[in-house]
Amino acid sequence: MRSIGKCCAILLLTIFMCCGIAKVSAQAAGIQPYWNNAEMVKTTLEISGSTAISSLTVIGKSGTSQITGTLKLVDNTTGTNVGEWVISVNGASCSEIKRSTVTAGHKFTLSFSGYVYDANGRGEYVSASDSK
């Protein structure tokens, strides 16, 4: 009788632990970085056949004076750069869309790394990436 009780207790604990882990994992997926100068930094990569559409959106907080950085598309299958674009915008927002010819079936990573400057010229490092 004791062994049945122990088995039930272990089974219940295992179920509760799995439910707790699943809940924490779902919550962690929604974590976003916090920046002092930027509201949002987002890259989106879409692949359609042999065309890659690389999108960048950076929205600075009130008082943002400039956004600078590099947007880069890398073919992970071959390890080569497909495209690299220098971004420099005076103002609080930046939206860029770049099209590239790529090899269908390969894996790609789009990344942005740069700085968002406040009204006093203090730059804050920001980055984002997307892979397909």
Indicate yes or no: pTM above 0.85.
Answer: no
Burial class of 58 by CB neighbour count within 10 A (0 to 12, 13 to 18, 19+): buried
- Is the predicted pLDDT of residue 125 greater than 70, yes or no? yes
Strands in 93-101's sheet, in edge-to-edge order, are 38-48, 51-60, 93-101
Q: What value does the mean pLDDT take over residues 35-41?
A: 96
